[in-house]
Structure 1
Amino acid sequence: MSDATTTDLYEVTMALSYLREGLTRPATFSLFVREVPADRGFLVAAGLEPVLDYLSGFCVDADDVEVFAAALGRPWEDAEPLLGLAFTGDVRAVPEGRVVLAGEPLLEVTAPLPQAQLVESYVLNQINHQTTIASKCARCVMAADGHPVVDFSLRRTHGTEAGYQAARLGAMVGFAGTSNVSAAYAEGLPAVGTMAHSYIEAFGTEEQAFRAFARAHPGPVTFLVDTYDTQRGVATAGRVLKDLGLGPGCAIRLDSGDLGALAVRSRRILDGAGLNEVRIVASGGLDEFAVDRLVRSGAPIDTYAVGTKVGVSADAPYLDSAYKLVEYDGRPVMKLSSAKVTAPGRKQVFRRPGYADIIGLLDEPPPPGGERLLETVMRHGRRTQSGNRRSRLDDARSRFADDLAALPDDARRITSPVAPKAVLSQPLTELADRVRHHIETEILAGTR
């Protein structure tokens, strides 16, 4: 069984029907987000890399056919038309790391209709989840205002794959490291971590625990100081660091309580011990809202470790994304149902200064000062871009930094941001009017 079976059953039933009816001409599906969630001024495109890996290797084998037949409750022969179905289509997409807005296609798939239909669920899953998490991580970087942010989310994400993705996506938007060893190794990221409260509790005293940890890990260390009494823990950590001559590069971690007030007291204790270079790391239920409050308060926190609320994007855990047919065999199509109208035809997004974006048709020339966002990333089922995963992550990181710097101030706010709105081009508006008129006069008229 391959990843081809990671799909919804209705994709299978539709694909089989298309094959039976000979509907195998090229179809274009457009993936977009209808609305940016509350408290979001923008989104960060993400998830494209695993999508391209999936599509590159997509092929229905005999075991997959058996799975499909079992799901349908029908004999193997009924699902056999799917055997050997591979992805041979084209993909145009917004590269990872770019800032995107509501309504803009993040990705368009053009392929024989059964292929483009059968891959929908996997493609939506990856783009939806990873764009959600990348956008949350980006806001943490903005809130930290230049202070390093690190990922501590693995233990609370919805599965280990999601934890891996959170580590990668955090790095893509500027995180300084991750606690996830596997992700750090695979993606070339700094691995970061300290100790748990259980480690402290395993020893007779905090001082014994700190000294034992320093013996096991020579060089800069970070001591968790709030297992019992935070201020005493800071003082003990400072004494051990001075005794061992480990001040520069070392840190203490605060994980609970009033982090701002505790950071002030901790800084005072450390400075009083002559440990001005010892940093303060804060963790414990942080997200961009908490980080923003701490930074604005002037709390002397050097590094922010974010976990649960960021790894699951707790305040906005999903996007209202859609993957809709916009063209079949050269014929533009659209959906007219209430509140879910789609725009027909293959598209391009033109970015202008100030994020005055225009959603237009693929063959439109860009407006003055406009930049095309969607690029051809797959042709005939093969990637068009070279480079290893680490270089592609570096490229995404650079794209995000450039796009973030150009965002309007209102969109960058942590609280009550205002997301820019993309508009439809005149040619796209005219096409939508023509298709709507055809549906209302030719298709719907025959059903009255």
Structure 2
Amino acid sequence: MSGQMTVPGALTTDLYEVSMALVYLREGMTGEAVFDLFVRDLPPRRGFLVAAGLESALSYLEGLRVGPAETAAFADALHRPVADLEPLRGLEFTGEVRAVPEGRVVLAGEPLLEVTAPLPQAQFVETCLLNQLSHQTAVASKAVRCVLAAAGRPVVDFSLRRTQGIEAGLRMARLGSLAGFAGTSNVAAATAYGLPAVGTMAHSYIEAYGDEEAAFRAFARAHPGPVTFLVDTYDTEEGVAVAARVLHDLGYGPGCGIRIDSGDLGGLAVRARRILDAAGLPEVRIVVSGGLDEYGIDRLVRSGAPVDVCAVGTRVGVSADAPYLDSAYKLVSYDGRPVMKLSAAKVTAPGAKQVFRGPGLTDTVGLRDEVPPPGAAPVLETVMSGGRRTAGPAPLAVARERLAADLAGLPGEARRIDDPVPPEAAVSAALARLTGEVRRRIGDRRAGGRARGATGGAS
């Protein structure tokens, strides 16, 4: 396994995208469409989101093509002759994408991505774009909160065994690195993305020996570099004492550690630190793991527990407390005509947009071509034109720098782990005017339709 993630193909879509695209093509509805992808509301206990998933979304768009095999598969799914699906053959993405670069902080209601393309193309890609950006943004946002909670202590990813699929595990490792994690246990991801590979040992290893000291000494013989011993298989304090004796006897010190994976992590860390210091091993680190996420890390840090490294797994890899986003991909303009949705609790704003960011993450959602407010700069960038990227994939280090800059400007109440207060983006006067105009136009048209219906359609 190379560790590289699979790029979704044309069949990775919902059937209704195929059905709609077919109608558009048959009816000649190929005018320019603009779709916004955004998150309506932040999940509970989130003060912000971190944009992620763009790179895999762009790879999908660049490789999209409906060939004979895909056409036949669509025909089979629709129980139609292949000839009926011929209008779809050759469909590929030739449009423009403007997006928030990976690593930037985003708020509710702000476009993460905006697609401008012929209507059949822009419609067809909805499902896959939502899949890529929604999942990865949710996980990246969870991972960043772990880094904030750790307050400078390294955080590492141990999530692969519990993520919902191998692909999700690869993405978690990459997103953890974007968020500032120090390493991953996932060897495939470490190889693919140039990340530090980290790991210790399992309880089964200790149990196989039946004796902690024998297990530790054998491990040290096989791994002459820095080692980390798992000390909580039987009695944690006794395990720490055994580890300290082995490390002292072998002359191991800097870079070595002990890992506590269960029980009262904070209390056990305090007692472990005393044992290690008494053995003359103040430089041996204490690694904690076992059901940790930002909430557990925050409690440990605020308690003053002498924890040096935090390893996170299941709860972060699946973003357990917020495993999905209330994301949407909505048409905002077709053939030069701004459009909007008026459904209860799901109203959308019309027109192609831009997010203008001022100091302190004071954001304004406005129209694409309007002048930014004083001191503000546009957030969405053109990342694809004519169906091709405008630049190569950005290194993770660049995304980390973007994230660090945005976090520095984010209000402290939004960065809080418990009870954060998310900033709210303002709406520009120009966008508000357009929204009112389109709403009135829809109202007038519906009223006219009702009037014609009441008179039998007479003019």
TM-score where L is the length of structure 1: 0.98
Q: Which residue of 1 aligns with 2:71?
A: 65
- The letter for the 1-side match of 2:416 is R
Partner of residue 430 from structure 2, selected from 427, 430, 438:
427
1:153-172 to structure 2, matched below 5 A, reads 153-172=159-178
Does structure 1 conserve the Cα–Cα contact (< 8 Å) formed by 2:361 and 2:406? no
- The letter for the 1-side match of 2:87 is P
Q: Which residue of 2 aligns with 1:363?
A: 369
The question of 1:351 aligning with 2:354 is answered no
Q: Which residue of 1 aligns with 2:448?
A: 445
The question of 1:317 aligning with 2:323 is answered yes
Q: In the aligned structure 2, how far is the partner of 1:317 from the partner of 1:416?
A: 18
Q: In the aligned structure 2, how far is the partner of 1:439 from the partner of 1:39?
A: 36
Q: Which residue of 2 aligns with 1:37?
A: 43
Q: In the aligned structure 1, how far is the partner of 2:387 from the partner of 2:244?
A: 59
Comparing 260-269 with 436-445, which one deviates more in the overlay?
Answer: 436-445
The question of 1:53 aligning with 2:80 is answered no
1:88-127 to structure 2, matched below 5 A, reads 88-127=94-133
Q: CA deviation at 1:445?
A: 3.0
Q: CA deviation at 1:129?
A: 0.2
- The letter for the 1-side match of 2:403 is F
Q: In the aligned structure 2, how far is the partner of 1:244 from the partner of 1:62?
A: 65
Q: In the aligned structure 1, how far is the partner of 2:47 from the partner of 2:210?
A: 50
Q: In the aligned structure 2, how far is the partner of 1:213 from the partner of 1:445?
A: 81
Q: In the aligned structure 1, how far is the partner of 2:198 from the partner of 2:419?
A: 32
Partner of residue 298 from structure 1, selected from 291, 299, 304:
304
- The letter for the 2-side match of 1:424 is V
Does structure 2 conserve the Cα–Cα contact (< 8 Å) formed by 1:2 and 1:60? no
- Compared CA separation, residues 447 and 184, structure 1 to 2 (3 A): farther
Number of residue pairs matched by the alignment: 445
Q: CA deviation at 1:365?
A: 0.7
- The letter for the 1-side match of 2:406 is D
**SS of match in other structure, 2:395:** helix
**SS of match in other structure, 2:331:** strand
Does structure 2 conserve the Cα–Cα contact (< 8 Å) formed by 1:234 and 1:252? yes
Identity %: 70
Q: In the aligned structure 2, how far is the partner of 1:46 from the partner of 1:209?
A: 42
Q: Which residue of 2 aligns with 1:329?
A: 335
**SS of match in other structure, 1:27:** strand
Does structure 2 conserve the Cα–Cα contact (< 8 Å) formed by 1:238 and 1:273? yes
- The letter for the 1-side match of 2:364 is I
Q: Which residue of 2 aligns with 1:245?
A: 251
Q: In the aligned structure 2, how far is the partner of 1:324 from the partner of 1:369?
A: 30
- The letter for the 2-side match of 1:15 is A
Q: Which residue of 1 aligns with 2:391?
A: 385
Q: CA deviation at 1:392?
A: 2.2
Q: CA deviation at 1:208?
A: 0.9
TM-score where L is the length of structure 2: 0.96
Q: CA deviation at 1:422?
A: 0.4
Q: CA deviation at 1:74?
A: 1.2
**SS of match in other structure, 1:202:** helix
Does structure 2 conserve the Cα–Cα contact (< 8 Å) formed by 1:101 and 1:422? yes
Q: Which residue of 1 aligns with 2:457?
A: none
Q: In the aligned structure 1, how far is the partner of 2:273 from the partner of 2:85?
A: 67
- The letter for the 2-side match of 1:415 is D
Q: CA deviation at 1:243?
A: 1.1
Q: CA deviation at 1:2?
A: 6.7
Q: In the aligned structure 2, how far is the partner of 1:299 from the partner of 1:53?
A: 44
Q: CA deviation at 1:216?
A: 1.1
- The letter for the 2-side match of 1:237 is A
Deviations 1:5-51, CA, capped at 9 Å, x for gaps: 10001001000000011001110100000001111000000000000
Q: In the aligned structure 1, how far is the partner of 2:67 from the partner of 2:214?
A: 59
- The letter for the 2-side match of 1:136 is K
Q: Which residue of 1 aligns with 2:196?
A: 190
Q: CA deviation at 1:444?
A: 4.7
Q: Which consecutive aligned stretches of 4+ in structure 1 deviate over 6 angstroms post-superposition?
A: none
- Compared CA separation, residues 75 and 207, structure 1 to 2 (3 A): same
Gap runs ≥5 in structure 2? 1-6, 452-459
- Compared CA separation, residues 122 and 232, structure 1 to 2 (3 A): same
Does structure 2 conserve the Cα–Cα contact (< 8 Å) formed by 1:2 and 1:64? no
**SS of match in other structure, 1:109:** strand
Does structure 2 conserve the Cα–Cα contact (< 8 Å) formed by 1:2 and 1:61? no
**SS of match in other structure, 2:432:** helix
Q: CA deviation at 1:436?
A: 0.5
Q: In the aligned structure 1, how far is the partner of 2:448 from the partner of 2:381?
A: 39
